[in-house]
Amino acid sequence: MVEWFNSIVNSISVSHLNVLIILGLALFGGTIGGKLFQKIKVPQVVGYIAIGIIIGQNLLHLVPLSVVKKFEPFNYFALGLISFMIGGELKLSALKKYGKQFISILFFEALGAFFFVSILVFIIGMFLLHNLVVSLVMALLLGSMSAATAAAGTTDVLWEYKTRGPLTSMLLGVVALDDILALFLFAVFSSISTMFLGVRGGNVLNELGGLGYELGAAVIVGGGSGYVLARLLRTFLDENKTLTFSIGAILLVLGLSVALKIDMLLSSMIMGILITNIAPIRSKEVFKLLDRVATPIYVLFFVLVGTSLNLGGINVVIGVLIVVYLIGRTAGKMIGARLGGLLSKAVPTVSKYLPLCLFSQSGVAIGLAILAQQRFPENIGGTVIVIITATTFLVQLIGPPFIKQAVVKAGETGLNITQDDLIKTIKTGEVLSKKSPLIAENTSLKKILAIFSRNDELYYPVVDKKKHLQGIISIDSIKETLMAQELSDFLLAHDIMEPPVTTCTATTPLTEAEDIMDHYHVDYLPVIKEDNVTEGVVERRGIQRYVATRLLDVENKTRSLG
């Protein structure tokens, strides 16, 4: 027994324990890093990578490269999962929904960034590196990645300013779908690039044939697995089996792709695309379940990416390329979006302001950079990942303020609001009817009846000569007098008014005014100034009418935007 125990203890070597500590450190540190970056509106993924850089070979040396290498299969799985989920975003119905105008803008802004970045990086790369192939490959890879726009850093601005309108819809659509274009560009150009680099060897025809085989096989493997998975999901409905089958399918596709020497990420992406389109409802659940288990996998993956980054490689060349990439991507997206908008005759606010909204960059670009790092030699892969990480950090800082400016100028802020949101912004004074009269204390019943018949309100303030509030006359207090005809000649406002329960001022927030009414069980509230001069009475139904009118204004304004 003791021997058995000892053998167990001995079998847990120090290096095993270290791996576990590294995993724990990566998850904790990464999550904290992500949160910190999220506070400054930079995607959490940059935070994960930053923590990896800190604990990795660049600074603390807590994680030796040999250990990082052990995680390779895990990294493949994480990348496969990411690709699968990105594929799940590509819904053909969404493409149809947004229509021609959208397609035009999407292609122009994404391809604009691709061409500008590719051309600029190629020229500057040639100038600095004097190496045609390296410059060309780097240009094509960075160009493909530059097409993607991040939802993070975009949607939270839109949400914060409660925007609604054509610019908002277009922006959301573009942000959701240009990632796919980036993926396709990357899939195609990274394959072509391996050909340029002669990684596979052989002549051009063989290379082209290889590329055709790779894409075709990826479609067959990914599509076939997707179809089988969709069938299985129809039979097995409970969550545990759904999750297990899905992860199993991803692993199988990855393994098959490795065995067949095809692009495993393209295959798993195609599987994602297939199931989201042939089994939209069941696949929604699949992606939800995966999303739940994905977080620790992502955190670990990106932290490990950070540990393997070699920042020692940053030099003037990379610094220049970072600037070139930023200029090319910004110019390409701005000009492309503008051109796409003008050519497709989009409403002016879209053509004019969408170009300012597309700077954000995140997960997809970084994911692709990581793929590049794995697939290409260090002088290309390492450079690409450093450029993408650094530029992501920068654009996430400058992107959101530009989006804010754009939506403000386009007049789309404050339109995506509910009744509750609206009420929170209103002060009681705004609701006061300007026409509604104050009733003097000595006004006769006859005149009061006339006031009631001419105006719409149910409550009127009774005031003295200084306009100080004396009481309230309601339709109820009038009702009592209808049975007392003999009094009609001599009853005054003073006689039939009721004492005000409480008051508020014009600056009282409407929500507070409503709370006061609830508290006192009344349907009105007199509004007075600081010097006690009466301004009027707000009524519950007046508030409802005012809010309804304002909401209608918002609707009309939204509609007028196009």
CB of 468 to other proteins, least distance (A): 13
Closer CB to other proteins, 107 or 452, in the complex: 452
Write the DSSP symbol of residue 80: H
Closer CB to other proteins, 330 or 477, in the complex: 477
CB of 440 to other proteins, least distance (A): 9
CB of 159 to other proteins, least distance (A): 50
Backbone angles phi and psi of 474, in degrees to 5: -115, 170
Alpha-carbon gap, residue 271 to 232, rounded angstroms: 14
Closer CB to other proteins, 254 or 496, in the complex: 496
Alpha-carbon gap, residue 221 to 412, rounded angstroms: 45
Q: How many CA atoms lie within 13 A of 478 on its CB side?
A: 18
Q: How many CA atoms lie within 13 A of 502 on its CB side?
A: 14
Closer CB to other proteins, 311 or 478, in the complex: 478
CB of 489 to other proteins, least distance (A): 7
Closer CB to other proteins, 342 or 438, in the complex: 438
Closer CB to other proteins, 444 or 503, in the complex: 444
CB of 522 to other proteins, least distance (A): 13
Of 457, 424, 429, 417, nearest to 553 by C-alpha is 417
Cα dist from 318 to 125, 305, 313, 365, whole Å: 10, 19, 8, 17
Of 376, 400, 354, 425, nearest to 165 by C-alpha is 354
Q: Tokens representing 330?
A: 């910004």
Closer CB to other proteins, 495 or 512, in the complex: 495
Alpha-carbon gap, residue 214 to 375, rounded angstroms: 15
CB of 164 to other proteins, least distance (A): 49
| Interface residues toward other proteins, by CB under 8 A | 441-442, 444, 477, 480-481, 483-484, 486-487, 489-492, 494-496, 498-499
Of 357, 326, 328, 325, nearest to 341 by C-alpha is 357
| Type of residue found at 159 | W
Closer CB to other proteins, 187 or 462, in the complex: 462
CB of 469 to other proteins, least distance (A): 14
* Burial track 294-309 (b if 16+ CB lie within 10 A, e otherwise): beebbbbbbbbbbbbb
* Strand segments (E) across 312-458: 439-440
247's CB contacts (< 8 A; 6+ apart) are 290, 293
Closer CB to other proteins, 287 or 524, in the complex: 524
Backbone angles phi and psi of 448, in degrees to 5: -65, -45
CB of 483 to other proteins, least distance (A): 7
CB of 532 to other proteins, least distance (A): 17
